[in-house]
Structure 1
């Protein structure tokens, strides 16, 4: 898997600290590391985090937090599991680890899109791949070139990534810079990061002003994707704005979220905010 150096993440932290008085949190951080620091034993178990979770839900619960919004469309109201990683609606955040934590999608494929990475990082599940091909094609037809910059990330890769941060700066800082193993959306196969065709501002705050990010923010829902970590919703999602991180939930649900002005999966499915690990 292609790795990226840490300075861009540190630059992101400096930007937020100086400009907004905030420390950066990121779920992406695809850098790999061979550091041998042990994974924190403070990670909550999947059974504890999900014991009271129903097997399948509809987004109707979100209506209580957005009373002025119309009810979910009949198409979007079809229930999917929020805990099963094979579900397009699985919600993974700092309160909701994957179950099992070492989950591997059975249908990983490399989409026929422009790639900035190789190996496992160039792969997503087959449903996401098909939707990505349509989205990248539509963007290209409008003169916007985007690349897939980081796709699937295995549990083993996330261990190395997270432990590299722990070894370099301690666990508290690591939790602000990298998802713990078993807590990354990238492991589900439903998420990937994009970059602009010219490579400008990749994984940096200024990426939000690049053509690929602008186009995706306005159009990704038409192909089933949402910007998973939107601007100024870090107290809900646990991560600061990542204009490059797209998550597939299906066209109906993504369009329903866009139409109703709902920004996060936590709000849409009526789940608690997850700013920090339990």
Structure 2
């Protein structure tokens, strides 16, 4: 995610646009990211913590539409039920070391100051350094395949923000509280212990050309377009899809990818399920409890 960068319209302005009934085309140009980096060049607010400005983007769904052969024959909407059988029992939704851990405004990390034991720097093009260039080993390996897949399609992708420690998120969040007050800060940055970036399972991507990083227009950049259509093949989902902020708690972030494994990511894509909350049958988390 990117809940901690600044470079696009504020969430307040985004909310105002929604209230005014502005069309999606206009919103696509001013949808703030769920994560905003601190006033300077901080990480993203929500779970996705980026190390640069943050805003959200606008387009359509976050997961590719199911292939015609996979669409429900009845014409009914896609099933939004948790995975069944062995897949549903495969990984924990609470253990931060699990690739299915769900972190949102209702589900903090346990322990709150969790640190992945296997942080490594993936062999991909980096736009950051230090801890932000790290991922857990499983995500790093999958990211290398993802970036290679993009490259083979002529798309240059960069790692714009990876791991973010509890300490870094604390500094970022407190900076927002000091400058805006807590209510506003909660719309721009994830509270410490509530960010996916701290798990090592998520990261933000940038486009090779460097355009529109953490800004609404990023949705139209080659890296975002390619990732939206192909990330599931490598086990990733766009964690904060367009117009599903009432479920995820964050506005559209086409740059924030989350590893859940090829099976789950493909299942979600084929069934047209956009959020992990819906996929695993969890309650929506639009705000902190």
Q: Shorter-chain TM-score: what band?
A: 0.7 to 0.9
Moved more, 98-107 or 13-22: 13-22
1:276: how far off? 0.4
Residue 71 to residue 103, structure 1, CA distance change in 2 (3 Å) = closer
Give the number of equivalent residue pairs.
241
Aligned to 1:104: 115
Cross-structure match for 1:28: 35
Q: Do residues 77 (structure 1) and 92 (structure 2) align? A: no
Q: How does 1:51-130 map to 2 (within 5 A)?
A: 68=79, 72=83, 76-130=87-141
Kindly tell me: are residues 93 and 68 of structure 1, through their superposed partners in 2, closer, same or farther at Cα, counting changes over 3 Å? closer
Match of 1:250 in 2: 261
CA distance in 2, matches of 1:270, 1:162: 29
CA offsets, 1:72-128, max 9 Å, x none? 476633421100000000000000000000000000000000000000000000000
Tell me if the contact between 1:25 and 1:176 (Cα under 8 Å) persists in the aligned partners: no
Alpha-carbon contact 2:81-2:279 (below 8 Å) kept: no
Contact kept, 8 Å, 1:162 with 1:174, in 2: the verdict is yes
| Deviant stretches of 4+, over 6 Å | 22-25
CA 1:169 to 1:32, structure 2 compared with 1: closer, same or farther past 3 Å? closer
Distance of aligned partners of 1:125 and 1:30 in 2 relative to their CA distance in 1, 3 Å threshold? farther
User: 1:5 & 1:247 partners in 2: Cα distance?
Assistant: 18
Structure 1: gaps (5+ residues): 34-65
CA shift in 2, pair 1:136/1:67, >3 Å: closer
Are the structure 2 counterparts of residues 70 and 241 from structure 1 closer, same or farther at C-alpha, using a change threshold of 3 Å? closer
Paired with 1:19 and 1:255, the residues of 2 have a C-alpha distance of 33
State yes or no: 1:173 paired with 2:184. yes
What SS does structure 2 have at the residue aligned with 1:95? coil
Distance 1:252 1:244, change over 3 A: same
Q: Which residue of 1 aligns with 2:149?
A: 138
